A and B are shown apart, each in its own frame.
Chain A
Amino acid sequence: MNTLPQQLANGLFLGSMYGLIAIGYTMVYGIVQLINFAHGEIFMTGGFGALTVYLYLPDGTSMWIALPAMLLGGVLVATLFALGAERFAYRPLRGAPVLAPLITAIGLSLALQQAVFNWYPDAKSARVFPQLPFGPYHLGSLRIQSGDVFLIIVAPLCMTALALFVRGSRTGRAMQATAQDPDTAQLMGIDTNRMIATAFAIGGVFAGIAGVAFGLKYGSVQYDMGFQAGLHAFTAAVLGGIGNVYGAMLGGLVLGLAEAMATAYIANIPGMEQLGGQGWASVWAFVLLILVLLLRPQGLLGERVADRA
């Protein structure tokens, strides 16, 4: 049986999710040159926010009603955590040596994980996430699950909206100005603190949506789901060229496809039989990252650092 179409599809779905999360890394890095290592946990809180909303809905509520409410809940929770992190953890450290916010980010990441682990009811192991009531669909040899349908519809919509917002809106332009030259942006009358908060909020919105998508795709959410997903999404952002919104989308897709291809086909190469399968997915993702950093350090769509001066 030809598995290639299925693997391509899997890569596309996975990559769409990476792309959604990667937006948060890249927007924040673009505007304050901070790697928000707590962003994976923001994504996780999105998943749990949506689950919480679902648990409060009356039994037997149709998923068609529940899903919008869950999305709203997930987005709201993730955005609030993202904004809270910016306001209370990172803003007081603006202007501090770069290690300070970086270590803060790692600490915040652990704190959020442990908070959910300890205080969210029954969250010490995976919590079952509701599923969309359709699918899986079969297209020839292709099998597409409901969670993947959600991703393939929502991810392009989000990305298009973001691209239009950044390029076309007054706030989007002000964010670009803040990213390129914060002092001069203030001279234009731009409230740069608000633009930075907006970047965190957009990252939170996308992470919230991705958190719901993760739950729908894998059937559960878990307190540490942000670690792996966050690391991969961060890789995607660097791969695409960190700071570049289109790069995050592209990086996500490339990484998803590469992972799917590698896990499916590496083992067919003579001498590499041991290196295939899901367990090696992260390894191949990081091998790809290392290759890109060696051959094109600015990432696929990144600009040369000299251009930023």
Chain B
Amino acid sequence: MTALLEVEDLKVAYGKIEAVKGISFSVEAGQVVTLIGTNGAGKTTTLRTLSGLLKPSSGKIVFDGRPLNGVPAHKIVALGLAHSPEGRHIFPRLTIAENLQLGAFLRKDKPGIEKDIQRAYDLFPILGERRKQAAGTLSGGEQQMLAMGRALMSQPKLLMLDEPSMGLSPIMMQKIMATIAELKAQGTTILLVEQNAQAALSLADRGHVMEIGTIVLSGTGRDLLHDESVRKAYLGED
């Protein structure tokens, strides 16, 4: 079986500085795959390249059987790849309901959209309570919920989450991670970028450890969680 997403020898550069130096990995339908690593490892660059916001300097991306090279960002969503970006990036001066509707921008099935908005409110009740409120007035954790709900509105085949727990209180972080576990249980395919390696690896079927633009270690989530070098470098153990 071919994977849903295949990345082969991907290189991405900002001017002369290469941020991703030839990485390969794949995501199979139904899997949760995580990229972990410190700041500047190239995780966010990888996701932004997958969703078309950055152009790779070389390498191959095949999603759902189609090469993505040269496809503009706004057409990649239509293929079933949704991206909840780092820093949440909700539309602050639009309401929560409007943000969710924009997540379904390319869909034409009005009743289906309404149903999925309701689903987002069920998943995150706070969003339902504040649906008419400007999204910029939400707390960081609530904005993260909105960003995830919005990404789900496109009914993606693959959901990419970039640092969903960044800057959140421990309680809110747990809530977000529990939601990702719930999405996984529902069969959502997820590519998760996280600095919280412990939480990410506990959830993931597979993990890849990135360091300055390369993947230095790959394995199942459980293996990596028990790998000595990972524990030392990312889980804060001596």
Contacts and interface: CB of A to CB of B under 8 A. Distances in A.
Q: Determine if chain A interacts with chain B.
A: yes
Interface of A: 170, 173-174, 176-177, 180-181, 183-192, 303, 307-308
A189 B52 contact: no
Nearest to B160: A187
Contacts of A173: 94, 98, 101-102
Interface string B38-58: 000000000000011100000
A105 to B, nearest CB: 26
Lowest 5 CB-CB distances: which A-B pairs, in order? A186-B73, A189-B77, A189-B106, A184-B89, A188-B105
B46 to A, nearest CB: 15
B93 A176 contact: yes
Nearest to B135: A180
Interface residues of B, number: 26
A189 B78 CA distance: 7
Contacts of B53: 183, 186-187
Given A187-B77, A187-B85, A189-B77, A307 B105 contact: no
Interface of B: 51-53, 72-75, 77-78, 82-83, 85, 89, 91-94, 98, 101-103, 105-106, 136, 150, 154
Given A181-B91, A183-B73, A189-B154, 19 more contacts: A176-B94, A177-B94, A177-B102, A181-B89, A184-B91, A185-B102, A187-B73, A188-B102, A188-B103, A188-B105, A188-B150, A189-B75, A189-B78, A189-B106, A190-B102, A190-B105, A303-B93, A307-B93, A308-B92
8 contacts: A183-B73, A187-B77, A187-B83, A187-B85, A188-B106, A190-B102, A191-B72, A307-B136
A192 B74 contact: yes
Contacts of B136: 307
B102 A186 contact: no
Contacts of A187: 51, 53, 73, 77, 82-83, 85
A180 B94 contact: yes
Contacts of B74: 186, 188-192
Contacts of B85: 183-184, 187
Contacts, number: 65
A174 B93 contact: no
Contacts of A183: 53, 73, 85, 89
A184 B154 CA distance: 14
Contact of B105 (A181, A189, A308): A189
A188 B103 CA distance: 5
A38 to B, nearest CB: 28
Nearest to B73: A186
Nearest to A303: B93
A23 B83 CA distance: 33
Contacts of B105: 170, 174, 188-190
A181 B147 CA distance: 13
Contact of A176 (B52, B73, B83, B91): B91
A298 to B, nearest CB: 13
Contacts of B89: 181, 183-184
B91 A307 contact: no
A187 to B, nearest CB: 5
A169 to B, nearest CB: 12
B92 A307 contact: yes
Contacts of A303: 93
A303 B92 CA distance: 12
Contacts of B72: 186, 191
